[in-house]
Amino acid sequence: MNQQQDTDKAEEGATALIALDWGTSSLRCYRFDAAGKVLEQRSHPWGIMNLPAAEDADQPDCSGQHAGFRRALHKACADWIAAAPEAPLIAAGMVGSKQGWCEAPYLTVPLAPDRIGRKLTRVETGIGGPLYIVPGLLQVSTLPNVMRGEETQVIGALAQWPEKEVLIGLPGTHSKWVRVSNGRIAHFDTFMTGEVYGALCAHTILGRTMQRDPSQASDEAAFVRGARVAQTADGNAGVLSTIFSSRTLGLTGELLPTAQADYLSGLLIGHEIAALKQLLATAHDFSPQRLALIGDAALCKRYRLALDLYGVGPVTLAQQATEHGLWKLARHAGLVA
C-alpha cells in the first residue's frame, strides 16, 4: 500500500497552519502559508479506526493512552512540525468523537458558522504544540442528527455563494443534506445510503448474484434504471422491498450480474432523493436558491444524475471545501491572522 501521496511538491513557503481532516478511515494533512494557500498536502490511511501500530523507531512520547493518535500525527507531520514548531495545529472529523483522540463536544444547530471556530477543544500532542479539534454539530429532535467533519466542508464552501438560502449535499458513507439560511446552519438530514449499499453488497443475498469488474466503467443505464424506481408506483413499497428487485431482475434475465451493483446504487440514491424532495416540500421556511454538492467526484456525478431525474437542481459542485473550511475555522479561532 502506498501510505503517502505527496500530491503537491513541497514549496519553500513558511508554514502558518497545519490542518488535519481526520476521519474514520483516512488522515489528510494540509500545510498552509500565511495567505491561506495550501503549500503541501498528504493523505494517509490512518483513520481513527486504523491507526498505525507501534514500531521500534517510535519516539518515546508515542506511548501510553492515545499513543496511536500521537504516532499517526508524528508519522504524518513530524517534518512539518519540526520545520515550523510555532505553527498551530487544527483537526476536524471523527478525531473529535468519543472514539477519537479527545472528545470535542457537539454544538447544536441552528447556529452561525463562525461560532464553531470559537469552540475548539485543545489537546496536548506531546509533538510540538497543542492540537485544536473542531466540534461536531448536533440537531436536537425526536430523531437527533449529528455530523463531524461535514461542518468544516460546509464552512469552506459557503463563502463562495451570495445566496441567502443554500442546500448543500455531502454524499458519502452517511450522506448529509445541510440547509443554510440567512448565514446560519439551520437544519440537516442524514441518510446512511453509502453504508447500507456496502452492507447489502457484501453481506446479503443481493451481493451473491453481482459481478463487479473494477476495471470497467460504471453502468450508467443500470444506475438510472435503479434511480427511477422510487418515483414509480412500485417505489411506494419502500426501499426494504424494492431492493429485492436487484436479485429478481437477475433471476428473470432482465438485469445482468455486471449491472446489479450499479442498479442497486441507483435504487438507493433514488430513494434518498425522493425522500429529500418530500422533506423539502414540507419545509415551508426554506426555499434554496442554490443546490451544491461536496464530495468525491464520481459519487457527486451519480447524485447529480439522480437529482436531475427528480427535477431537483441545477447543481453546483464545490471544490476544496475541506481545506477552505479548515483555514476559515483557524481564522475564526484566532489561530491565524
CA-to-CA distance for 266 and 223, rounded, in angstroms?
4
Q: Could you tell me where the DSSP H helices lie in 53-171?
A: 67-83, 150-158
CB of 267 to a copy of itself, least distance (A): 10
Q: Are 41 and 7 in contact (CB under 8 A)?
A: yes
Least distance from a copy of itself to the Cβ atom of residue 102, Å: 16
In terms of CB distance, is 63 or 99 closer to a copy of itself? 99
**Nearer of residues 7 and 25 to a copy of itself, judged by Cβ:** 25
Q: Which residues bind a copy of itself (CB under 8 A)?
A: 98, 138, 140-146, 174, 189-193, 195-196, 198-200, 202-206, 229, 232-234, 236-245, 248-249, 251-252, 254, 268, 271-272, 274-275, 278-279, 282
Least Å distance between CB 208 and a copy of itself? Answer: 9
For residue 314, say if its preceding peptide bond is cis, omega within 30 degrees of 0: yes
Q: What is Dmax (Cα atoms) for the chain? A: 66
Distance CA 75, CA 63 (A): 14
> Measured from the CB atom, is 229 or 330 closer to a copy of itself?
229
Instruction: Give the integer Cα–Cα distance in Å for 227 and 232.
Output: 10
> For the range 24-27, what are the long-range contacts, defined as Cβ-Cβ under 8 Å and sequence gap of 24 or more?
24/48, 24/49, 24/93, 24/94, 24/173, 25/49, 25/50, 27/72, 27/76
By beta-carbon proximity to a copy of itself, the closer residue of 184 and 228 is 228
Measured from the CB of residue 264, what is the shortest distance to a copy of itself in angstroms? Answer: 12
Residue number with CB closer to a copy of itself (18 or 293): 293
CB of 107 vs a copy of itself, minimal distance in Å? 14
**Quick one: 2 or 142, whose CB is closer to a copy of itself?**
142
Which of residues 9 and 98 has its CB atom nearest to a copy of itself in the complex? 98
In whole angstroms, what is the distance from residue 73 CA to residue 235 CA? 47
CA atoms within a 13 Å half-sphere pointing along the CA-CB vector of 299: 16
User: Whole-number minimum distance, CB 168 to a copy of itself, in Å?
Assistant: 16
CB of residue 313 vs a copy of itself: minimum separation in angstroms? Answer: 20
Give the position of cell 461542518: 151
